[in-house]
């Protein structure tokens, strides 16, 4: 499928809106936004996993300290 140099049309609320860019530029922008979105999603997942591991370690450490203190 060949890309034309004309503007792409987007349907919004029943109206056709012309995007003042060739279809290749629109596709490139969508691809870049997708890559950025996936990258940010992976980073947020890593942050949440780090928080979960940190909180779990804190709970286990506190439990271990309580076990040591009750043996006196």
Task: Write the DSSP assignment of 43-54 as a string of letters.
Answer: HHHHHHHHHHHH
Give the Å distances, CA to CA, from 71 to 13, 15, 61, 65.
Answer: 70, 75, 16, 10
Q: Is the pTM of this model over 0.75?
A: no
Residue 5 included in any domain: no
16 within some domain: no
Among the listed residues 27, 31, 9, the one whose alpha carbon sits nearest the alpha carbon of residue 18: 9
pLDDT at 61 over 90: yes
Is residue 29 predicted with pLDDT exceeding 80? yes
Instruction: Say how many CA atoms lie within 13 Å of 7 toward its Cβ.
Output: 8
- Residue 58 above 70 pLDDT? yes
The answer to whether residue 65 is domain-embedded is yes
Biggest CA pair distance of the chain = 82
Mean pLDDT over each residue of the chain, to the nearest integer: 80
> Does residue 29 sit within a domain?
yes
């Amino acid at each position: 499928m060949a890309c034309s140099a004309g503007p792409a049309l987007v349907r919004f609320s029943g109206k056709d809106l012309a995007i003042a860019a060739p279809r290749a530029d629109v596709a490139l922008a969508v691809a870049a936004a997708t890559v950025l979105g996936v990258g940010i999603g992976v980073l947020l997942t890593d942050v949440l996993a780090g928080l979960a591991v940190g909180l779990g370690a804190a709970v286990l450490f506190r439990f271990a300290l309580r076990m040591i203190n009750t043996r006196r």
